């Protein structure tokens, strides 16, 4: 049998570094739960490095993992290169204004969970433009073009 899902506890930045090495070459693992760990910005940078190369992972939960400003920037950069990730949970991290940066680069194709809600749709300058979420039933890009979503 192939391992496709794992959940890890007591992971800090050094554990994230070791995990990153494995994720870079992973071809089977599709879902990883790192919820409520002490990954921090340093560990987020290691995970981001792996996400740039990983082509198998579909979901990652980094909720409540002490990720801040620098970690959010690392993850945002990785999301630009990663083509396989479909869902990421960053809820409960103190990433502040950088959340807008992460969203801008992720939500058009990735389900992003932050502040306890799913934030999928088009984001422009930090403003969610998915009108389905706003209850209108039509999705529009900032320039007015309609898209399926």
**What mean pLDDT value characterizes the chain?**
77
pLDDT at site 21: 93
Burial grade of 69 (CB within 10 A; 0-12, 13-18, 19 or more): middle
Q: Name the residue among 64, 40, 116, 95 with its Cα closest to residue 48.
A: 40
- List, for residues 6-51, the tens digit of each pLDDT value: 999 999 999 999 999 999 998 999 999 999 999 999 999 999 999 9
pTM, two decimal places:
0.74
């Amino acid at each position: 049998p192939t391992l496709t899902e794992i959940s890890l506890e007591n992971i800090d930045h050094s554990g994230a570094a070791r995990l990153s090495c494995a994720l870079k070459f992973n071809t089977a693992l599709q879902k990883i739960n790192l919820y409520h760990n002490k990954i921090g910005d340093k560990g987020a940078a290691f995970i981001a490095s792996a996400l740039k190369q990983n082509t198998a992972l579909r979901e990652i939960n980094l909720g409540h993992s002490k990720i801040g400003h620098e970690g959010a920037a690392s993850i945002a950069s990785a999301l630009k290169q990663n083509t396989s990730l479909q869902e990421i949970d960053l809820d409960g991290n103190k990433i502040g204004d950088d959340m807008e940066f992460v969203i801008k680069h992720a939500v058009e194709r990735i389900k992003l969970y932050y502040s306890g809600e799913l934030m999928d749709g088009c984001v422009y300058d930090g403003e969610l433009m998915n009108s389905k979420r706003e209850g209108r039933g039509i999705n529009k890009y900032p320039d007015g073009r309609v898209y399926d979503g």
